[in-house]
Amino acid sequence: MGGLRYATGSHRNGYLGAPISEESQAYYNTWIAEHGIEVVDMTPMRAGDALFHYGWTLHAAKANRSSTLRQAMTVSYFADGMRVGQMTNEEKEHDRQVYLAGRPVGAVADSELNTLLWSSLEATPAAHLSLGQPLPQRIPARSVQAMDEGQA
């Protein structure tokens, strides 16, 4: 499979608006050249490797010359209680329909596809006590340093 390449710093320009297609590849190649953006090829990845990047970072994979289907996974994080914003393009509207079950603008951005990983409510001592849970244990900084130095 072909390796991944990144247009360094391209995320700072925000959403650039071309859906993925043969035409968009030509559009982005021109945009990269006009803005003098450096393109970096990542080293070949091995089983178990992972790459993470900001969603607006321009990236592409070289041609897949193998018979193995290339797989990818997208993970998005947002704060508990986040509300659905205005849809400013077709891709965002598509994502609102698919990943937020069509929640209306202004509604809490929750759906069966968006698992709550951490709630700010759970972080307060009162919340732990009201739920009958013990308070989270904190490790003193000196203990963490000792562990790093192999002394704990």
Q: Which helix (H) or strand (E) holds 31?
A: helix 22-34
First to last CA, the chain: 44
* pLDDT at site 121: 59
Same domain, 68 and 8: yes
Q: Are 77 and 68 in contact (CB under 8 A)?
A: no
What is the domain count for the chain? Answer: 3
Write out the residue range of the structural domain in which residue 61 sits: 4-75
Nearest Cα residue to 91 out of 70, 74, 79, 116: 74
pLDDT digits (tens, 9 = 90+) for 85-127: 999 888 889 989 999 999 999 999 888 888 777 766 555 555 4
Same domain, 59 and 89: no
Same domain, 90 and 54: no
pLDDT above 90 covers what percent of the chain?
A: 25
Same domain, 125 and 112: no
C-alpha pair distances (Å), 18 with each of 37, 56, 83, 108, 114: 17, 11, 25, 28, 26
Same domain, 111 and 124: no
- Is pLDDT above 80 for 33? yes
pLDDT digits (tens, 9 = 90+) for 37-73: 999 988 777 888 888 888 889 998 888 888 888 877 7
Same domain, 68 and 85: no
